[in-house]
Amino acid sequence: MSHIRILLLIFTLFTCTLQATERKGRLGVGLNGQLKNGLPTLSLKFQGSRTFSFETLANFSSGDDGGFAAGLKIHRILFDEPQLNFYVAALIALEKKQVRGTGDTGFQTDFTCGSEFHLAGLKSLAFSIDFGISIYKFKDLVMETTGTGIVAAGVHFYL
């Protein structure tokens, strides 16, 4: 009988429960490479509720091959797992791309699916990936598939 108690104690000590990372009300500061003007983009992502988050994107460069952009991205979380969530998102941004002093102003609209995940034990650091359709216009209207990897889609540090 004592062996069973010892085994139960060992299982109790080494068994942990997984809980979903609580993101509601948290602000993430990071980067996102989703905008088409080719500049690194700063990002603020706010988790407003368990199902919606909002992300603002902005970048600029004063160089000859610079430009600027500002956008808003809305995420709708579909599935929430312990260390990750799956979402659909819509992005709209105004952008200026400049090449050798000549600039083109345009817009970008993306409709994507994606996932944001945390590594076990690092609840404040999140990585994301996105894939879907991008429609943008600088000189000509272009519609294309899009897919961004971990660093390009986003890395956020949640405060």
> Within 13 Å of residue 14, how many CA atoms lie on the same side as its CB?
6
Mean model confidence pLDDT for the chain: 82
Choose the weakest-confidence range: 14-18, 42-46, 49-53, 129-133. 14-18
pLDDT digits (tens, 9 = 90+) for 39-78: 889 999 998 888 999 999 999 988 777 889 999 999 999 9
| Whether the predicted pLDDT of 22 surpasses 80 | no
| Whether the predicted pLDDT of 152 surpasses 70 | no
> Which of 56, 137, 130 has the alpha carbon at shortest distance from 97?
137
- Residue 140: its pLDDT value, please? 87
Q: Where are the domains of the chain?
A: 2-158
Q: Which residues contact 7 (CB under 8 A, 6 or more apart)?
A: none
The hierarchical CATH code for the domain 2-158 is 2.40.160.20
| Whether the predicted pLDDT of 36 surpasses 60 | yes
In DSSP notation, 37-61 reads T---EEEEEEE-SSSEEEEEEEEEE
CA 121 from centroid of its chain's CA atoms: 19
With cut-offs at 50, 70 and 90, classify the pLDDT of residue 17: very low
Range with the largest mean pLDDT of 6-10, 71-75, 137-141: 71-75
| Whether the predicted pLDDT of 20 surpasses 60 | no
Which token pair is 78? 């579909």
pLDDT digits (tens, 9 = 90+) for 77-114: 999 888 889 999 999 999 888 777 677 888 999 999 99
